[in-house]
Each structure stands twice: as C-alpha cells, then as structure tokens.
C-alpha cells in the first residue's frame, strides 16, 4: 500500500505489513539543530521578545511534540524552523541549511523540502483531493503531470482515501480533509514534517486517527516530525515531548501547563 511510483521507501518494511512500534532510528545529522535562538515582534518601544535562548535538536526519524500554554511561542518557533519568517538571533540549522542570515531564495528552497500541516487543512476548495496532493509536486521539474497524479493517487490510498481522489474538500469530512493534508505534506518526500495543531479542528476520534496515520507514514519513511499541540489526547504518539513557557523551553516537571495524557 505504501510503495509509491518512482519513490523508494527510506525504511524497508515488508510490503503490506502493518507498522507497529519503532524502526531503528536513521543515522545522520540532526534535521533540526537550534541554539541561542531568540526572537521578538515589533520594534523600538513596541519590541516584545517572544522566544528566549532556545536550544532544541530533533534527531533523524524522531517525533517531537511541542506543547505549552497559549502565547508561549510555539507557533513562532515552528515558523522560524519552517523558514516562513527570518531569523533574528542565534542559530537554526534545518536539513543542513543555516537559517540565520539565509537569503530569501535559500529559505524558499528549504521550504520545498519540508511538509507542512496546519490547523486548518489549507486545501484549495476548487481542486479535487487528488489535484490538491499533486500540486505539492508541481515544483519538482523531474515529474510529469501524469506522474504527479499517479503519485497523488497512491499517496491518497496510503491515507485510506484511495476512492476519494475526485472529491473536493467540501465533499469530505474534517478528518478526511486533514488526511488529504497529510498526503499532500508527505507527497514530495520531505526531509521534515512541521505540524501546527493538526487536530484542533477535529473530534477526538478523527484527530487521533489523523496523527497516528501521520506518525506511521512518517516512521516508515524515517521522516522526523515536529508537532505543536495543545491536545492531551495525542501526546502518546511522541518520542519526546517538549514544553514551552513564556518563550523558553522548560523541563517537563516545571511545565505546569502540560496536560497529562
């Protein structure tokens, strides 16, 4: 179910076997390595620090959850790692690219190597599920339109929506839309998945299904995930949980706002 056209799987699993437990962590450099990162919004008297001296490493294949109270800086950190905003201070190396001082072109190139999943699925309403997933591959000059659509279909099958490729987002349930977003994020063989509250708009059951699917597909490929969440129901998918408070990473025992699973 998971062997996609023209795309070798990074991790070998027996064809069709259910994914249970952990595969050996892939070796290699850390996909995310952050030190001394600080960030502030505004300027002059309006300047407001929101991230302070952050240090964080995500290891190859690791699934890391970032949690903490509203306003603690989680989304800001995620957008810096995703090269969606420019760094101000410290070092943030993502998939080998140092983002401190990186040019806009370098940030754009890095973004293409990252799979993003947001709270709202961000699918285009006038495109079918298949077209939405295929769109993620359009920037790859090595692909043809037919190849992109075939890969999109295979990716939709991998998220259990093999028969819904022709449906537009408004014809799908919230959980199905988010599964399309998972398929889209993984379609381009990203080196890293960044997810911001992917279950926030979903009920308990579909939220759980979506993140477990994301975890299993990412693990099969050895793709690390950094996922921001408030949702205590999904903490069990993590290899590691990191808590933030007031712009800092805090040890879990001090993180009073971290809900228990």
With contacts defined by CB under 6 A, name the span among 53-61, 63-71, 95-103, 141-149 that binds ligand ATP. 63-71
Closer to ligand ATP by CB, 41 or 126: give it.
Answer: 41
Does 70 help bind ligand ATP (rule: CB under 6 A)? yes
Instruction: For residue 39, give Cα distances in angstroms to 47, 53, 94, 251.
Output: 10, 9, 17, 20
Q: What are phi and psi of 57, to 5 degrees?
A: -125, 130
Does 229 help bind ligand ATP (rule: CB under 6 A)? no
**Alpha-carbon gap, residue 64 to 90, rounded angstroms:** 21
Q: Is the distance from CB of 74 to CB of 67 less than 8 angstroms?
A: yes
Helix spans in 1-123 (H): 74-81, 104-111
In the complex, minimum distance from the CB of residue 171 to ligand ATP, in angstroms, rounded to a whole number: 29
User: Which one among 73, 165, 175, 188 touches ligand ATP, defined by CB under 6 A?
Assistant: 73
With contacts defined by CB under 6 A, name the span among 67-75, 201-209, 210-218, 233-241 that binds ligand ATP. 67-75
**Alpha-carbon gap, residue 222 to 196, rounded angstroms:** 20
In the complex, minimum distance from the CB of residue 71 to ligand ATP, in angstroms, rounded to a whole number: 4
Does 198 help bind ligand ATP (rule: CB under 6 A)? no
Closer to ligand ATP by CB, 162 or 259: give it.
Answer: 259
User: Which one among 72, 176, 178, 229 touches ligand ATP, defined by CB under 6 A?
Assistant: 72
Does 75 help bind ligand ATP (rule: CB under 6 A)? yes
Does 39 help bind ligand ATP (rule: CB under 6 A)? no
Closer to ligand ATP by CB, 28 or 71: give it.
Answer: 71
Token pair belonging to 11: 């991790």
**Alpha-carbon gap, residue 130 to 115, rounded angstroms:** 17
Token pair belonging to 66: 């970032």
Classified as helix, coil or strand, 205 is helix
Instruction: For residue 75, give Cα distances in angstroms to 26, 45, 189.
Output: 27, 23, 23
Closer to ligand ATP by CB, 22 or 48: give it.
Answer: 48
Q: Is the distance from CB of 4 to CB of 151 less than 8 angstroms?
A: yes
Closer to ligand ATP by CB, 47 or 253: give it.
Answer: 47
Does 206 help bind ligand ATP (rule: CB under 6 A)? no
Does 50 help bind ligand ATP (rule: CB under 6 A)? yes
- Strand partners for 91: 35
Interface residues with ligand ATP (CB under 6 A) are: 41, 50, 68, 70-76
């Amino acid at each position: 179910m998971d062997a996609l056209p023209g795309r070798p799987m990074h991790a070998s699993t027996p064809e069709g076997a259910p994914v249970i437990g952990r595969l050996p962590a892939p070796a290699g450099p850390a996909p995310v390595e952050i030190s001394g990162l600080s960030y502030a919004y505004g300027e002059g008297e309006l300047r407001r620090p929101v991230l302070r001296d952050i240090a964080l490493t995500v290891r190859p294949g690791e699934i890391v959850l970032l949690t903490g109270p509203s306003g603690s800086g989680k989304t800001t950190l995620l957008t810096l790692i995703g090269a969606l905003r420019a760094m101000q201070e410290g070092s943030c190396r993502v998939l080998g690219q140092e983002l401190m001082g990186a040019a806009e072109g370098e940030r754009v190139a890095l973004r293409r190597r990252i799979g993003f999943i947001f709270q709202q699925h961000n699918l285009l309403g006038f495109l079918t599920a298949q077209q939405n997933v295929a769109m993620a591959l359009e920037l790859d000059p090595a692909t043809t339109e037919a190849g992109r659509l075939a890969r999109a279909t295979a990716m939709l099958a991998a998220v259990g929506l093999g028969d819904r490729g022709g449906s537009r987002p408004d014809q799908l349930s919230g959980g199905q839309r988010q599964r399309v977003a998972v398929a889209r994020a993984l379609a381009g063989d990203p080196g890293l998945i960044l997810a911001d509250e992917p279950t926030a708009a979903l009920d308990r059951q579909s939220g759980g299904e979506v993140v477990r699917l994301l975890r299993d597909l990412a693990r099969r490929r050895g793709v690390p995930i950094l996922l921001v969440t408030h949702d205590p129901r999904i903490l069990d998918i993590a290899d590691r949980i990191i808590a933030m408070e007031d712009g800092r990473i805090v040890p879990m025992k001090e993180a009073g706002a971290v809900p228990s699973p």
